[in-house]
């Protein structure tokens, strides 16, 4: 899901992704200090921390949400982050809130679409 800045990512977007069946969510923002909007990525990090707390208390596990900071020139690091997150989520197993049943039938796997593309 593309957003103009990670500062746009509201906490509810993260929770909805998990509610809709995502096993994990990670935000990739600009390097700290390099935000075009000054503090968007710093705000996003705080929201990720809050989302972790909420997911921990609801028993889903805060480890399913992470924040990465990269520059637009770090394609390799981007791929690394994706691999790292994939491995982490594999180790954690499927989202426990996913409805039981054969894959693709119970769990809703809808991708979040920007409301105003």
Partner 1 sequence: MIVANRKPFEEIMDMLKPYAKILLLGCNECVTVCSAGGAKEVSVLASEIRLSRAKDGIPVEVKEHTLERQCDPEYATEAKPLVDECDAVLSMACGCGVQSVAEAYRSKYVIPAVNTTFMGSSEEQGVWKERCQGCGNCILDRTLGICPVSRCAKSIFNGPCGGSQGGMCEIDKELPCAWQLIVDRLKEMDMMEKYLEIQPVKDWSTSRDGGPRKRIREDLRI
For partner 1, the binding residues (CB under 8 A) are 10-12, 15-16, 18-19, 54-55, 57-60, 96-100
Least separation in angstroms between CB 56 and partner 1 = 9
Quick one: which H or E segment has residue 66?
strand 65-69
Return the number of the residue (43 or 68) whose C-beta is nearest partner 1. 43
Number of Cβ atoms within 10 Å of the Cβ of 111: 9
Minimum CB–partner distance for residue 61 and partner 1 (Å)? 9
Burial class (CB in 10 A: 0-12, 13-18, 19+), 108: exposed
> Considering the complex, what minimum distance in angstroms separates the CB of residue 26 from partner 1?
18
């Amino acid at each position: 899901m593309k957003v103009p800045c990670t500062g746009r990512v509201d906490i509810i977007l993260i929770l909805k992704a998990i509610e809709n069946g995502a096993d994990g969510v990670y935000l990739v923002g600009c390097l700290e200090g390099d935000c075009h909007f000054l503090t968007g990525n710093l705000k996003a990090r705080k929201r990720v921390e809050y989302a972790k707390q909420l997911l921990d208390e609801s028993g889903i596990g805060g480890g399913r949400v992470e924040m990465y900071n990269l520059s637009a020139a770090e394609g390799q690091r981007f791929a690394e982050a994706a691999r790292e997150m994939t491995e982490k989520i594999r180790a954690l197993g499927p989202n426990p809130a996913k409805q039981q049943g054969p894959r693709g039938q119970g769990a809703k796997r809808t991708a979040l679409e920007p409301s105003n593309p």
